[in-house]
Amino acid sequence: MPKKLKVAVAGANGYAGMTAVHLLARHPGVELAQLTSRSFAGKPYSEVFPLLDRDGVFAAEPSAKRVDVIFSCLPHNVGAAQVGGWLDAGARVIDMSADFRLHDASLYPAWYRQPHPNPELLERAVFGLPELHEEAIRYAQLVAVPGCFATASILALAPAASSGLIASDVVVDAKSGVSGAGRSAGIGVHFSEVNESVHAYAVGGHRHLPEIVQELAVNGDGARVTFVPHLVPMTRGILATCYFDLKGSAAELEEAYREFYAGQPFTRVVDTTPATKLAAHSNLCLVNVAVQGKKAVVTSALDNLVKGASGQGVECFNIACGFERTTALEGPVQWP
């Protein structure tokens, strides 16, 4: 086991930050050296983490020279300007925002409403999806952890795309729990707004769409994807149901998925369509492959705060820092 690494979590008071802290607190190779939050600066950790066995107060900003790794759980466009300085100070950065996920800087104004503040860093960033980029993550100083919808959709479609089994445009119908909207208050996530109701949103194009298109490109061909997310009245979880015309047989499709994910510790091909609760509080992505007539129907389920965010961040951290990939991420399935 490598030595304990000093780790900071920036933005530790949000859902992604809180999840990262809870996972890293049980990691045998981690010393949680700094927890930062602008809104909680100077306040004790117990105000956010009443059960965390650790004394201390939140700092406003991380001190990169005093740590080995920074988990940046800051909002989009907040951490991007700081990451360069953290890297120059010698820290490895696991970024949980969207700031470094897209390779093409010209896409950021369209999807995030401003030019990228640090475009020269995009070529140094590795897209943090271990099932696709494990070797690149191993040597990365800057890892851009993908979005929750993007993770569920890419893992549902990558085996078919890489095997040339997609014969049409792809439609992704995805549903997320309310925690995917973050911890900040907003009328769209009030209990009375979401309880006993389901609705589609961002039908003109969701920010995770360009990540999906980027990662499903095979042989330089861009994937044609229609992606529609829905908000459902549950706390956590994502279910993505993906439809496309199948090139080949159902048996070939099934074989492609089982071969693609053979040996993967967290993405599993299952025999029945997965429920989100089966993946809740775990780093699992559960994928089911089915065919309806000539149409392939692939379903994936994951926890948006774990495999869809901080659990995947810890998975990338383990790969990059020489730990077993599953460290701090395995636990019993919680059902129901």
Catalytic positions are 148
Coil/strand/helix, residue 138: helix
Which residue in 215, 238, 239, 240 sits closest to 227, CA to CA? 240
SS (H, E, C) 309-324: HHHHHHHHHHHHHCCC
Coil/strand/helix, residue 231: strand
Describe the strand order of the beta sheet including 5-10 as a list of residue ranges. Answer: 30-36, 5-10, 69-72, 92-95, 142-144, 125-127
CA 306 to chain centre: 7
Which residue in 70, 40, 44, 39 sits closest to 57, CA to CA? 44
**Cβ–Cβ < 8 Å for 160, 295:** no
d(CA 93, CA 60): 18
